[in-house]
């Protein structure tokens, strides 16, 4: 299993996490830009189609994870991901 942490916070010129040489916009400009935005996180997921005997495992882009951005709040999400495997016993003996 692997762990992925996503953090979304406002750029601040007095922040230690800010990369060198980056100059942040003022708070009002940042708030206005993000006030009606969402943060989308898409990833490849898989599902089992029990009626499909030739290719029962289907991969698809899962885009159902999103966050409304509120300029007055920080957002954080933890994702635990793991590659799954399956051994099918669907042959006639």
3-state secondary structure of 72: coil
C-alpha dist (Å) from residue 92 to 51, 52, 87, 88, 89: 17, 16, 15, 12, 9
Domain that holds residue 15: 2-81
pLDDT above 70: residue 91:
no
Spatial distance between the Cα atoms of 14 and 23, rounded to a whole number of angstroms: 10
Count of structural domains within the chain: 1
Instruction: Express each pLDDT in 70-90 by its tens digit.
Output: 888 877 888 888 887 777 776
Instruction: Express each pLDDT in 9-47 by its tens digit.
Output: 788 888 777 778 888 888 899 888 888 888 888 888 999
Spatial distance between the Cα atoms of 62 and 83, rounded to a whole number of angstroms: 15
User: Is residue 16 one of the residues assigned to a domain?
Assistant: yes
User: Is residue 87 one of the residues assigned to a domain?
Assistant: no
pLDDT band at 93 (very low <50, low <70, confident <90, very high): low
User: Is residue 26 one of the residues assigned to a domain?
Assistant: yes
Task: Return the pLDDT at 9.
Answer: 77
Task: Return the pLDDT at 88.
Answer: 75
């Amino acid at each position: 299993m692997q762990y992925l942490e996503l953090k979304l916070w406002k750029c601040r010129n007095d922040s230690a996490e800010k990369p060198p040489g980056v100059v942040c916009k003022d708070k009002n400009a940042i708030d206005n830009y993000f006030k009606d935005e969402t943060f989308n996180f898409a990833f490849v997921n898989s599902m089992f189609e029990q009626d499909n005997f030739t290719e029962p495992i289907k991969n698809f882009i899962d885009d159902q994870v999103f966050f409304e951005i509120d300029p007055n709040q920080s957002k954080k999400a933890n994702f635990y991901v793991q590659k799954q495997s399956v051994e099918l016993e669907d042959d006639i003996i």
